[in-house]
Amino acid sequence: MLPDDVLLGVRGPARYLNGEWNVSRPSADARIRLALCYPDVYQVGMGHLGSLILYHAASLIEGVSVERCYAPWPDAAEELRRLGLPLATLESHTPLRDCDLVGFTLQYELTYPTLLTMLSLGGIPRRSADRQPGAPLVIAGGPGAANPEPLASFIDLFCLGDGEELLADLLRRLLSLRESLGPREGWATRDRETVLRELASLPGVYWPDAYEPRLVGDLVIPQPRSGVPERVSARLVENLDAVPFPTAPPVPWVETIHDRGQIEIARGCTRGCRFCQAGMIYRPVRERSVEILLHQAEELVDNTGYDGLSLVALNCPDYQRIEELIGTLQARLSPRGVSLSLPSLRVDTMSVELAQRLAETRKGGMTFAPEAGSQRLRDIINKNVSEEDLLRAVEAACRAGWLTVKLYFMIGLPTEADEDLHALAELVHQVVRAGCDALGGKQRRLKVNVSVAIFNPKAHTPFQWNGQAPRAEIEAKQELLQSLLQSRYVKLSVHNVGQSCIEAVLARGDRRLGDVLEKAADLGCYLDPWTEWFDAPRWHQAFDGSGRTAEEWASRELDPATPLPWDVIDMGVTRDFLLRERELALSGRPTADCRAGSCHACGNQRRVRGCSGVLPASCGGKSK
């Protein structure tokens, strides 16, 4: 991508090299060249398990050459511009403009301007309407596709839901089209609309240009033109054991954010936290079998040499055979010096036995997410854990040998008051005391790292109609917590208010934000998830002419009686269910996990084949 003499002068040159262990080798006679792009730097993208799953799934399709592309660090991006060189794939250094299909992972809203810049650097017109025959098809998927409208002017097709089967189906359909078109010259002159219409006929594919944006009240709502469905349903993989999983992923040259092997033990969550988009859009719960996971774990270690293995799920201890899985994995992998970690723990499922099992290998920090300080607020957000649950979990972890605990909270939650923040601070101090007591007194003190995020309302959640708290209010809450948590044993970190504001805007935005995003990219907004590169004044300038400031976009309340821009996307949960959960939140009433009780009719029973009024086991409950 960059000449050697230039490469040696940029920061982190190893991330622009090819040839990592287990990398897919491009085929010279491939009929389709796919570039899988992650709109952040190599260290972030290479640690994203979803991207590795897609890379593996695409590599199994005969006739497809799958390659990777990541956002260059600003110094390397500037060198590309100075030299007039295009952004290219890692594997074969093919410019993005010369690929047949360019796919982006939408993991985080603040990466959207980076996505636009990557298109420009790769020689691809940003807007779909400006792409001529022969230009690559630009697709995107991931949680950001749950509300695709802010990017609708730039993405040709959105892939909704679980991606392994959908991407494979799309590639096979594209290969079939290529066969019917003959040589590349015929492919290049083919009418793009015909190709897009054919691909959009696949289940789970949203073609935004086939929907006319209309102003309904204060929102721009996509209305279907002829020949397309009113709503597009997300794809669902019912049996995780039956889909491909990467047990020989590329091993990066440099340390990544998740520098260990990863195996996905389950997908989906039915705990029902009302702020959590992932818990809504990835329903129902599906688990891999212990037998498959043991095989995958051993293959992964054999093929990579990692000495750490992370079990991945929205809530690992909810896996029904978690203790058996951990015990067997440790018996097989501990003699080889491989440690296990669970990145996601709910405080009500952290048993003493589980803590002790994990402590048999090396210990990092133990992470819990109580989310709110008071029980009143935890009931509102449906975080069905108590103060006693957290303290028992911390005591169990400390008795098992942990000396560091990380706690995740949010501020700016609906109905939050100063009393809830005082309760948060008191809960942290109780954790310190409980941990120190479990460790044996003052000679061994527990270190507590407290991370406080800012509530961002997300599409397809019960709080999707709520606005974000204004900036001044959030800053006052952060200052209050800083005054309440002054302790040598507590380290407090708070999120950037400006970044959270932009995230909230894009999470619930409509198609009008395309102009804002393009202007932000033109102004130099790039790698905005990195605090060192986020530039709030540029964003304020980008919103000039949009009719509102960024804060006004973020804080607006939406009317539950009117359509929403993302209603065109069916992620499984129904509007009726979300409205019921919203009413329960306002009355402070929690909803039990359906895996331990009756079905709450969230809508996912419609998505599972063979369901005839009785909720399938994969949804984890009994029908009403």
In a domain, 104, yes or no: yes
In terms of average pLDDT, the best of 41-50, 363-372, 388-397 is 41-50
Q: What is the CA radius of gyration of the chain?
A: 24
Q: Which residues neighbour 441 within 8 Å (Cβ) at sequence distance 6 or greater?
A: none
**Tell me, what CATH number does 34's domain have?**
3.40.50.280
In terms of average pLDDT, the best of 254-263, 396-405, 604-613 is 254-263
In a domain, 494, yes or no: no
Section 413-434 average pLDDT: 97
Residue 493 forms beta bridges with which residues? 451
In a domain, 200, yes or no: yes
In a domain, 490, yes or no: no
* Residue 352: predicted pLDDT: 57
Q: How many CB atoms lie within 10 A of CB 378?
A: 23
Instruction: Work out the angle at residue 14's Cα, subtended by the Cα atoms of residues 61 and 92, and round it to the nearest 5 degrees.
Output: 35
Roughly what angle, to the nearest 10 degrees, separates helices 387-399 and 352-359? 30
In a domain, 542, yes or no: no
Q: How far apart are CA 139 and CA 101, in angstroms?
A: 7
Residue 330 has pLDDT above 50, yes or no: yes
Top pLDDT among 595 and 169 is at 169
Section 68-78 average pLDDT: 97
Nearest to 340 by CA among 356, 329, 353, 349: 329
Q: How many CB atoms lie within 10 A of CB 352?
A: 14
Q: How far apart are CA 528 and CA 111, in angstroms?
A: 6
Tens of pLDDT along 107-166? 999 999 999 999 999 999 999 999 998 899 999 999 999 999 999 999 999 999 999 999
* Residue 612: predicted pLDDT: 34
- The pLDDT-based confidence of 353 (bands split at 50, 70, 90) is low
- The pLDDT-based confidence of 2 (bands split at 50, 70, 90) is confident
Half-sphere exposure of 361 (CA within 13 A, CB side): 22
Tens of pLDDT along 151-209? 999 999 999 999 999 999 999 999 998 887 666 555 555 688 889 999 999 999 999 99
SS3 state at 404: strand
Tens of pLDDT along 450-475? 999 999 999 999 999 999 999 999 99
Q: How far apart are CA 460 and CA 566, in angstroms?
A: 8
In a domain, 160, yes or no: yes
In terms of average pLDDT, the best of 184-188, 238-242, 314-318 is 238-242
| DSSP per-residue string spanning 387-428 | HHHHHHHHHHHHHTT--EEEEEEEES-TT--HHHHHHHHHHH
In a domain, 33, yes or no: yes
The count of domains in the chain is 1
Q: How far apart are CA 323 and CA 624, in angstroms?
A: 31
Q: Which tokens go with 592?
A: 């039990």
Structure pTM?
0.94
Residue 444 has pLDDT above 90, yes or no: no
Q: How far apart are CA 548 and CA 103, in angstroms?
A: 31
In a domain, 94, yes or no: yes
3-state secondary structure 555-622: HCCCCCCCCCHHHHEECCCCHHHHHHHHHHHHCCCCCCCHHHCECCCCCHHHCCCCCCCCCCHHHCCE
Q: Which tokens go with 236?
A: 């669902």
Q: How many CB atoms lie within 10 A of CB 131?
A: 18
- Are 425 and 485 a contacting pair, CB within 8 Å? yes
* Residue 440: predicted pLDDT: 83
Strands 339-341 and 366-371, sheet pairing: unpaired
Q: Give residue 45's domain range.
A: 4-231
Span of 181-185, 254-258, 517-521 with lowest mean pLDDT: 181-185
